[in-house]
Chains A and B, each alone.
Chain A
Amino acid sequence: MSEHLLEVKDLKVSFDTYAGEVKAVRGVSFYLDGGETLAIVGESGCGKSVTIQTVMRLNPEPPARIVGGSILYKGEELTSKTDKEMRSYRGKEFSMIFQDAMTSLNPVVRIGKQMCEAIRIHEKVSHEEAKRRAIEMLGKVGLSNPETVYRRYPHTMSGGQRQRVMIAMALCCHPSILMADEPTTALDVTTQAQILELMQDIQRETGCGIILITHNLGVVARMAERVAVMYAGQIVEKGKLSDIFYHPKHPYTWGLLGSMPDMQERSDSRLTAIPGSPPDLFAPPKGCGFAARCPYCMEICLQSDPEESPVGEGHTARCWLLNPYAAACRPVPPVGRDKQLVTPEVAGYLERKGVTQDGQ
């Protein structure tokens, strides 16, 4: 029924804590096809990680609980699967690369052993075969002397090397979806570029779909085809790169683009920040999650949550401003600097990918 590789529909996830129920994800829908990259952006605590970890069912249950919605992978419903059934998906169909490669590898187990473990759990291969494949993967991710790396412990390697190991480990069973949770945040800039390049190479070679979580809009412009902007447990806007960067419709997206540092700007200009902080997800607001911080907030925004409105092909946003009745007061996006929300860095990436203002 589903023509997409992965389709998440109206997913709701809550955490039951002593203090009450935290509604971390409040109705998220997106899809991913093979070979494409979807970026999920948003500030800390908006539910990005919870969303993709729910797809793999990595969150401990309890306290995590899928309240509603569905996750279809190759047409198969995942939300009703038991933990045991999910095991054959994790590492085999989906793989995850975590933010902090320094702490994501077991410090007391050799790299090789950690990799072989991942291979042999899913495929009945001999130890020698697993070792051969592990070394081959380590070489593929650009580590020199893979045989030596195979025998090393994580603490003897740098952050970039470890992230390569993580990627090698994630790829050794040829997953069809690679989820990367801020894979470059903990790395220095030159290493970041290398890791991103590596991920792109791998995608070209294996045709896997990538879900990329990041704060960095430069990374989004460089890596993704489609973007989902998350705020307070919801996707407030999603669309193609050109939609989000050149025709953003949601005030939060405007804020997000506006708060990006611009290296070519005059040094005395200040960074634009979105004032306030995200709502408390113990008791999400009745209306729009962003209303309290939104400069265009209307009466209705505080009263009820806006529906997702289509604003173009594959481009939707959750905002009352898009309601036909709000047409009269439709504001212009804040054009702070030179009528451009996109920084030259982002524009450069977009141009290289052939993304223009009029769509791809």
Chain B
Amino acid sequence: MVCKELIPLKKYILQRLVISVITLWLIVTVCFFLLRLLPGNPFASTTIMTQETLDRMMAYYGLDQPLWKQYLTYMGNLLQGNFGYSLKYAGRSVNYVIASTFPVSAQLGFQALVFGIPVGLLLGILAAKFRGRAMDAGINVFVIICTAVPTFIIAALLQFVLGLKLGLFPVAQWKSFSYTILPTLCLSLGTISGYARSMRTLMLEVDRQDYLKTAKAKGLGNARIVIFHQIRNAIIPMITNLGTEIAGMLMGSYVIEKIFSIPGMGAYFVDSIQGLDYTMVMGLVIFQAVIVIVANFIVDLLYGIIDPRIRVA
């Protein structure tokens, strides 16, 4: 069985690899030229500059070269894994920025996922199992609040109540595990509400399936039916979005990181595009693209393990 599946799997991975490389190349190219189409230049907003200084800056960063030449140089550097230097933060390479901020954002995102997904699924399952009763209504209200109230308000509330009033957790900064709890909680609320709602719908969908009646007719207990037969089937469609979800969470959140003064990657996204920091934008976009592609690939393999019907063969 294993041997039979191994050869096509190798081919499948190779195929995916080729497609991924092409995708990445497309992203890099489109992004590169789109950025240059934006009006303004990276140094316009810094300080008042004479034309002479500006020209020298442009020459220093190679921005005076024809566009195709810049593109080739960039691609050359990229192939060596070099994202270049930031145009805004003098002397800081994009590689350095990613290396120093990604671990923070990734840890935060990872914690939020590890907490948020199971809680979200659990709430969805409970809501479906107690459909139409108080438990369902309560979870629904919670989900609506999480979706409707902006994160910064919930974050501020949590900071005030849990941090200031009760003094349970530090309000801001990023030093030890206890510092991560409030931002993790805030970041996971979106995941929790999203997963809870989808899972509830999917559970109810599976509820009507014939094989659940078969399971009941076999004399299985409710817990066994729900866990072994219902959840396993309900969870399959949830996996589709998992890749994008993981990538999105690992890349950091601008709002959360600002509110909790976390030295993560989220802020760089917004700042660099505002300041037309070409190299930084490119570096972050490519990095995110790689993460999305890798995450989706892993999720697709996972899909095959959970759902035998779409196993690659």
B216 nearest in chain A by CB position: A58
Give per-residue flags for A67-92: 1 if the beta carbon is below 8 A from chain B beta carbons, else 0.
00000000000000001100111111
A121 contacts B220, C-beta separation under 8 Å: yes
- In the complex, A103→B211 CA distance in Å? 6
- In the complex, A122→B222 CA distance in Å? 15
A90 contacts B308, C-beta separation under 8 Å: no
Interface flag for A155 (CB, 8 Å): yes
- In the complex, A104→B209 CA distance in Å? 8
A-B pairs with beta carbons under 8 A, tally: 80
B221 nearest in chain A by CB position: A87
Give per-residue flags for A111-144: 1 if the beta carbon is below 8 A from chain B beta carbons, else 0.
0000001100110000000000000000000000
Contact stretch, chosen from B37-45, B159-167, B189-197, B229-237: B229-237
B211 contacts A155, C-beta separation under 8 Å: no
A107 contacts B309, C-beta separation under 8 Å: yes
- In the complex, A151→B217 CA distance in Å? 22
Residues of A contacting B213 with CB < 8 Å?
A: 58, 96, 98, 104
Interface flag for B52 (CB, 8 Å): no
A108 contacts B232, C-beta separation under 8 Å: yes
B214 contacts A166, C-beta separation under 8 Å: yes
Residues of B contacting A98 with CB < 8 Å?
A: 210, 213-214, 217
Interface flag for B219 (CB, 8 Å): yes
A118 contacts B308, C-beta separation under 8 Å: no
Given the contacts A108-B307, A155-B309, A91 and B236 also touching, CB distance less than 8 Å: no
A118 contacts B211, C-beta separation under 8 Å: no
Given the contacts A87-B221, A100-B210, A121-B220, A106 and B215 also touching, CB distance less than 8 Å: yes
A91 nearest in chain B by CB position: B219
Given the contacts A103-B211, A104-B211, A108-B236, A90 and B217 also touching, CB distance less than 8 Å: yes
Q: Which of B198-243 contact A (CB under 8 A)?
A: 209-211, 213-222, 224, 228-229, 232-233, 236
Interface flag for A346 (CB, 8 Å): no
Residues of A contacting B298 with CB < 8 Å?
A: none
Interface flag for A95 (CB, 8 Å): yes
A105 contacts B218, C-beta separation under 8 Å: no
- In the complex, A121→B214 CA distance in Å? 14
Give per-residue flags for A141-160: 1 if the beta carbon is below 8 A from chain B beta carbons, else 0.
00000000001010100000
Across the interface, A169 reaches (CB within 8 A) one of B216, B218, B228, B309, namely B218
Interface flag for B306 (CB, 8 Å): yes
B216 contacts A108, C-beta separation under 8 Å: no
B218 contacts A153, C-beta separation under 8 Å: no
Residues of A contacting B219 with CB < 8 Å?
A: 87-92, 118, 121-122
- In the complex, A166→B217 CA distance in Å? 11
Interface flag for A213 (CB, 8 Å): no
- In the complex, A104→B215 CA distance in Å? 9
Interface flag for A109 (CB, 8 Å): yes
Residues of A contacting B233 with CB < 8 Å?
A: 106-108
B216 → chain A closest CB, angstroms: 6
B211 contacts A58, C-beta separation under 8 Å: no
A122 → chain B closest CB, angstroms: 6
A103 contacts B209, C-beta separation under 8 Å: yes
Residues of B contacting A105 with CB < 8 Å?
A: 211, 214
- In the complex, A109→B309 CA distance in Å? 10
B310 nearest in chain A by CB position: A155
Q: Which of B215, B224, B236 has the largest number of chain A CB atoms within 10 A?
A: B215
A155 nearest in chain B by CB position: B309
Residues of B contacting A106 with CB < 8 Å?
A: 211, 214-215, 229, 232-233
Residues of B contacting A88 with CB < 8 Å?
A: 219
Given the contacts A106-B233, A108-B233, A153-B309, A91 and B210 also touching, CB distance less than 8 Å: no
Residues of B contacting A232 with CB < 8 Å?
A: none
A115 nearest in chain B by CB position: B218
- In the complex, A56→B308 CA distance in Å? 31
- In the complex, A291→B229 CA distance in Å? 45
Across the interface, B218 reaches (CB within 8 A) one of A90, A100, A103, A155, namely A90
- In the complex, A68→B215 CA distance in Å? 27
18 further A-B pairs in the complex, CB-CB below 8 A; given A118-B219, A121-B220: A58-B216, A84-B221, A87-B220, A91-B217, A91-B218, A98-B210, A98-B214, A103-B211, A104-B213, A106-B211, A106-B229, A106-B232, A108-B236, A108-B306, A108-B307, A109-B229, A109-B232, A122-B219
Partner-B contacts on A (CB < 8 A): 56, 58, 83-84, 87-92, 95-96, 98, 100, 103-109, 117-118, 121-122, 151, 153, 155, 166, 169-170
9 residue pairs of the A-B complex, CB under 8 angstroms, read A58-B216, A96-B213, A100-B210, A106-B211, A106-B232, A108-B236, A109-B232, A118-B218, A155-B309
The 6 closest A-B pairs by CB, nearest first: A91-B219, A90-B219, A91-B218, A103-B210, A118-B218, A96-B217
